[in-house]
Chains A and B, each alone.
Chain A
Amino acid sequence: MSVRVVAGHDLRRIRRSRGLVGLVVVSLVVFVGGYLIGGLLGSGQDPASVVRVRLLAIWLVAGPTVGFVATVVGAAGLAGEREARTLRLLASLPLSRAQLVYGKTVARAGVVTAAVTLGTFVSLTAVAAGTPVTSTGRLVGFAGFTLAVTVSYAAVGVAVSTVVSADRVRAVAVGVFVATLVWPRIMGFGVETFGSERIELLCQFLGTLTPFGAYSQVVSDSGAILAYEPTSAVLGSGVMALVILAWTVGSLLVARHQFPKTAL
C-alpha cells in the first residue's frame, strides 16, 4: 500500500516536471533511429539479412542509451530528493525505508519502461511490417529482454543512490553503467586471446554477467558483437534472464540494506 503511495507520488512529480515526455522523445529517437540506421546498413540485402541488421542496429543504438537513461533516472530518484532536501519531509511520514526504495524503483523503472515500451513497439512493429519473414518469437524476446534490462538498470541506479553521497551519485551511476557496458568487451579480449575451449567459454560466460552483457547475448545475432554461439546452457536465454533478474533483485537488496544507513 505504502509502496503505491511513494510510487504514485514520484510519478506525479515526474509527470509535472515533464520528465516522461522527455523520456518518450529519447526512446522514440533511439529506437526509430536504430531502425532507420539498420535499414541503411542492410539496404540491398535479402529480407532476412535486413531484419538481422535492423535488430542489430536497434540493439546497438537503443541498448546502451536505454541502460544509461534508466540508470541515471533511477539514481536521481532518491538523490534528487536528498539534493532538494525533500527526503526528510518524505521520510517523516509513516513510510519505511524499504517502502521508499521500492516505491522509487517502481516509479522510476515504470516511467522508463513505459517510454521504452513505446519505442520498442514502434520500431519492432516497423521491422515486422517491413519484412514478413520476421519471427514473432524473436521480436517478442527482443522486446521482453529490452524491458527487463531497463528495469534492471533503473534498480542499479536506485542502489547507487543509496550507497554514495548525493553529490557523487550521478558520476558513480554513470561509472557503474559504463563498467557494465565495457565488461563484456573486456571479456571478449579473453575469448580472443585464449585458445582453450573451457577458458573461452568461461570468458564468454563472465562477459554476460552484466545486464548489458546478458542482454546482448540474447538479442544480438550469434557471432555478432558481444554475442556468442550458445554452445552451452550457461550462454542460453534462460541463464541470461536469470542474470538480468539477479541484477534487479541484487540492486534492490543492496538499496534496502544501505538506505537505512544513509544520511537523510
Chain B
Amino acid sequence: MPNPVLVVDGLSKQYGPVTAVDQVSFSVSAGEVFGLLGPNGAGKSTTLDALIGFTEPTSGGGAVAGHDIVESSTAVRSVTGVLPEDCGVYEELTAVEHVELAARAKEVDSAPERLLGRVGLTEESWSRPAGGFSKGMAQRLRLAVALVGDPALLVLDEPLSGVDPDGIAELARLIEQIAETGVAVVFSSHDLPRVERVCDRVGILNDGEFVGVERLTGDRTTELILSTDTHPRSSALSELRALDGVEQAGWQDGGVHLTVTEPTAKAEAVQTLGSHTRVRDIRTRERSLDEIFAAYTASEERDDTDVATRREVTVS
C-alpha cells in the first residue's frame, strides 16, 4: 500500500463499563475511499469521532498525514475535512459565510464560489440564509465546508443520510470525483449499494470490534462453487478450509461453496477437491456487499454448511 494518509492503530474507546470500540486498526491511502460499515451501535461514529478529536480514545490512536490524532487533534482537523453526523447549519448565515468561516479557521483563501459550485449548489443559493435550505442542499453545504483548504483526508459520517435518492446519487458521484483528485476518504453509511459503488474497501464493525476488511475493487472476495456428484467427506472440506486464501468451505445444494479471498486459491481448491471426488462444474460469483456484511455481522453461531449467507439484511 502506498503511504497511507490515515493510520488507525489499536484504537479503543470505553464509556464506563461499555466498550464502544475495541482495538480497531486500519489505514487509508490517498485517493482511496474506505467505507466503515456496521449495524447501529457498532462503533462507526465513535471511531470517526476519535479520528477528528471529538472524543479521546481510551487506548491506541492513529495519525492523519503524520499528525497524531490525540496529541495534535487541531492539526489533524487542519488537514481533514469533516462532515459530522447529525449536524446542523447556521440558519442565519449564508452558504458563502459558512465557507468563509471554515477558511478563516483553516487560515486559507476561501474561494467560496468555487467550492459551492463544486458541490452542486446553484448560484442563487449562495447568498441565501442556510435556514431555508433543503436537507440535500444543507448536506452539500456541509460538504463544501469540509472541502475548504483542500484536505488530505475527508471524514464523512453518514453523508447520505436524509438525502433524497437523486441527491444520494449525486453526492456519491461527488465523493468519487473528490477521491480521484487524491483525497483519502473515510465514510460511514447504511446505504450498502452506494457504499459498494463508491468504496474501494470496506471495514466492518460489529459490537465495537473490527470483524473484517473487504476489497470491493480488483481482487475482491468471491464465492467459488464446485459442483460434485456426491457430498465430499468432511476431511475434504477440512483440507479446503486449510488452504491459504480460503475462508469458508461447506456443502450446499449439490456443490461445495468456498469463500475465496485470494485468486490463486481457486485453482488449488479445484485440485484439492478433485483429489477426493469428481468436480463436474466450476462457477464463481462475487459476493454482494449485502452478503459480506451479513456474513460478518450475523450471529456467531455460523454453520459451516451455510457458506454464503443469503438472508436479507435490513440495516436501519
Interface residues of A (CB under 8 A from B): 1-2, 5, 8-9, 12-13, 16-17, 84-86, 88-89, 91-96, 260, 264
- Interface contacts (Cβ under 8 Å), in number, total 68
Distance, CA A36 to CA B168, complexed state (A): 62
Q: Which residue of B82, B87, B102, B104 is within 8 Å of A86 (Cβ)?
A: B87
B146, A13: Cβ atoms closer than 8 Å: no
A92, B77: Cβ atoms closer than 8 Å: yes
A16, B92: Cβ atoms closer than 8 Å: yes
Residue of B nearest to A14 (CB): B92
Interchain Cβ contacts under 8 Å between A and B, 29 examples = A1-B107, A5-B104, A5-B105, A9-B104, A12-B93, A12-B97, A13-B90, A13-B93, A16-B92, A84-B88, A84-B91, A85-B86, A85-B88, A86-B89, A89-B87, A89-B88, A89-B90, A89-B145, A91-B84, A92-B82, A92-B83, A92-B145, A94-B75, A95-B77, A95-B105, A96-B73, A96-B74, A260-B56, A264-B84
Q: Which residue of A2, A88, A264 is within 8 Å of B105 (Cβ)?
A: A2
* Known pairs A85-B87, A86-B88; A93 contacts B97 (CB<8 A): no
Distance, CA A85 to CA B168, complexed state (A): 22
In the complex, chain A residues whose CB is within 8 Å of the CB of B146: 92
B93, A5: Cβ atoms closer than 8 Å: no
In the complex, chain A residues whose CB is within 8 Å of the CB of B145: 89, 92
Give, as a whole number of angstroms, the nearest-CB distance from A66 to chain B.
Answer: 26
Asked if B194 is at the interface (CB within 8 A of a chain A CB), the reply is no
Asked if B101 is at the interface (CB within 8 A of a chain A CB), the reply is yes
Other contacts beyond A17-B92, A84-B90, A92-B83: 18, CB < 8 A: A1-B107, A5-B101, A8-B104, A12-B93, A86-B90, A88-B84, A88-B85, A88-B87, A89-B84, A89-B88, A89-B89, A91-B54, A93-B77, A93-B101, A94-B74, A95-B77, A260-B56, A264-B84
In the complex, chain A residues whose CB is within 8 Å of the CB of B142: 89
Distance, CA A2 to CA B92, complexed state (A): 21
Q: Which of A2, A85, A92, A260 has the most CB of B within 10 A?
A: A92
Residue of A nearest to B146 (CB): A92
In the complex, chain B residues whose CB is within 8 Å of the CB of A8: 104
Distance, CA A85 to CA B52, complexed state (A): 17
Residue of B nearest to A17 (CB): B92
Distance, CA A85 to CA B146, complexed state (A): 16
Interface residues of B (CB under 8 A from A): 52-54, 56, 73-75, 77-78, 82-93, 97, 101-102, 104-107, 142, 145-146
Q: Which residue of B54, B87, B92, B105 is within 8 Å of A94 (Cβ)?
A: B105
Give, as a whole number of angstroms, the nearest-CB distance from A87 to chain B.
Answer: 9
Residue of B nearest to A91 (CB): B54
* Known pairs A92-B82, A95-B74, A96-B74; A9 contacts B87 (CB<8 A): no
Question: Which 6 residue pairs are nearest across A and B when measured between Cβ atoms?
Answer: A92-B82, A85-B88, A94-B78, A93-B105, A88-B84, A16-B92
* Known pairs A84-B91, A264-B54; A94 contacts B86 (CB<8 A): no
Give, as a whole number of angstroms, the nearest-CB distance from B95 to chain A.
Answer: 13
In the complex, chain A residues whose CB is within 8 Å of the CB of B107: 1
Give, as a whole number of angstroms, the nearest-CB distance from B221 to chain A.
Answer: 34
Give, as a whole number of angstroms, the nearest-CB distance from A162 to chain B.
Answer: 15
In the complex, chain B residues whose CB is within 8 Å of the CB of A16: 92-93
A88, B77: Cβ atoms closer than 8 Å: no
Distance, CA A233 to CA B49, complexed state (A): 52
In the complex, chain A residues whose CB is within 8 Å of the CB of B56: 260
Q: Which residue of B74, B86, B104 is within 8 Å of A88 (Cβ)?
A: B86
Give, as a whole number of angstroms, the nearest-CB distance from A26 to chain B.
Answer: 21
Distance, CA A86 to CA B75, complexed state (A): 21
Residue of B nearest to A93 (CB): B105
Q: Which of B85, B104, B146 has the most CB of A within 10 A?
A: B104
Distance, CA A117 to CA B244, complexed state (A): 77
Residue of A nearest to B78 (CB): A94
In the complex, chain B residues whose CB is within 8 Å of the CB of A84: 88, 90-91
